[in-house]
Amino acid sequence: MQFTHDPDDFRLQLNAAASRLGFRRVGVASLDQSDALAHLDRWLADEFHGQMTWMERGRALRAELSQVHPNAQRIVLGVTDYLPADTDPWGVIGNPEKAYLSRYALGRDYHKTLRKRMKHLAGELAPFIDPHGYRVFADSAPVLEKHFAEQAGLGWIGKHTLVLSREAGSWSFISGFLTDAPLPVTGVTEQPRCGSCTACIDICPTAAIVAPYQLDARRCISYHTIEMTGPIPTEFRAAMGNRVFGCDDCQLICPWNRYARPGDAEFAPRHGLEAPDLLWLWGWSRDDFDARTAGMAIRRAGYDKFRENLLIAMGNALPNAAIGDALAACEPATPAQHEHLAWALSRG
């Protein structure tokens, strides 16, 4: 298959279609990833992935993208902003009676929404290359998304390991598709602009960014509150504060996020979860949880895990009479809840 159209015209049309579909920026990269794979191998060898054994199992596929999509030749990546306006993140983090949920998780689950948009975008390329075989993804395929986003010119990987850009910071999701079409690659990679800044490393409550560009997930609150099962290690519990689903501190402090754009309406907060009272969340039944998290990323953690996280935040809120009473009345449903409850009560 050959690409016979004018590459500049292609880029213009690609950008126009992408912005109609709600992507701030898109780009096309080749599949070269040797340096990134070396970093991945070191990360796995250091066991920084913890219980995320799917990262280990997916290593071979990440390295051989033609196994993820047959005859893959190019990868198209897009970024979509999600930061909701005026949700006062530091105000919530600083108030122990509230619970902090990551800003990415306040609205609709991005996985489905962005895969759908990417599918539309892939379809819009038909005038240039038809038919082309493609596979869309949004954090849903074994692909080193950040590396390719960087290669496609969408930003650079910061010391906190997230992709950020000069025009809009890091509050963005990455999604894309692999295609068997030999599309012209776009753009130049963005000049890294972390310089001598170490703000994200310094502020991390659990010292999870163990060196610039290296994150030990086993220390990261996002991993503790979303990915891992079982009791969260004691050494991290006090530092978690009231962060009950994910963590944003390394982004909140980043100077480039002064340029953040307002988030896509699809990811606007639902059910008042931008600043909920801890006790309101604790009062949720399983049915309440199911009803109020339908179509949202929080649903993935599950009710029991969510309450395991809440118990730690409640321990961190003591002394507080109402929260103390709720803890005293708690009947734990999982071994981790048992352990977190005992820890929380010990702080009263």
113 binds ligand B12 (CB under 6 A): no
Q: Distance between CA 81 and CA 83 in Å, rounded?
A: 6
87 binds ligand B12 (CB under 6 A): no
Measured from the CB of residue 215, what is the shortest distance to ligand B12 in angstroms?
4
63 binds ligand B12 (CB under 6 A): no
160 binds ligand B12 (CB under 6 A): yes
40 within 8 A of 49, measured Cβ to Cβ: no
162 binds ligand B12 (CB under 6 A): yes
194 binds ligand SF4 (CB under 6 A): yes
Q: Which stretch binds ligand B12 (CB under 6 A): 115-123, 124-132, 247-255, 287-295?
A: 247-255
| Per-residue x/- track, 8-37, ligand B12 (CB under 6 A) | ----------------------------x-
| 139 is a catalytic site residue | yes
One residue of 21, 138, 273, 327 binding ligand B12 per CB under 6 A: 138
Q: Which stretch binds ligand B12 (CB under 6 A): 128-136, 208-216, 271-279, 339-347?
A: 208-216
Of 40 and 122, the one with the shorter C-beta distance to ligand B12 is 40
Find out whether the peptide bond into 131 is cis, omega within 30 degrees of 0.
yes
Q: Distance between CA 17 and CA 135 in Å, rounded?
A: 18
Residue with the two structure tokens 């066991």: 47
Of 18 and 215, the one with the shorter C-beta distance to ligand SF4 is 215
Of 37 and 185, the one with the shorter C-beta distance to ligand B12 is 37
Other CB atoms within a 10 A radius of the CB of residue 329 amount to: 7
Q: Distance between CA 93 and CA 247 in Å, rounded?
A: 10
Alpha carbon separation from 156 to 23, 210, 338 (Å, rounded)? 17, 19, 42
Three-class SS of 56-90: HHCHHHHHCHHHCCCCCCEEEEEEEECCCCCCCHH
Q: Can you read off the two tokens belonging to residue 258?
A: 């002064």
- The residues carrying an active-site annotation are 139
**Residue ranges in contact with ligand SF4 by CB under 6 A:** 158-160, 164, 194, 197-200, 204-206, 208-209, 215, 220-222, 247, 249-250, 253-256
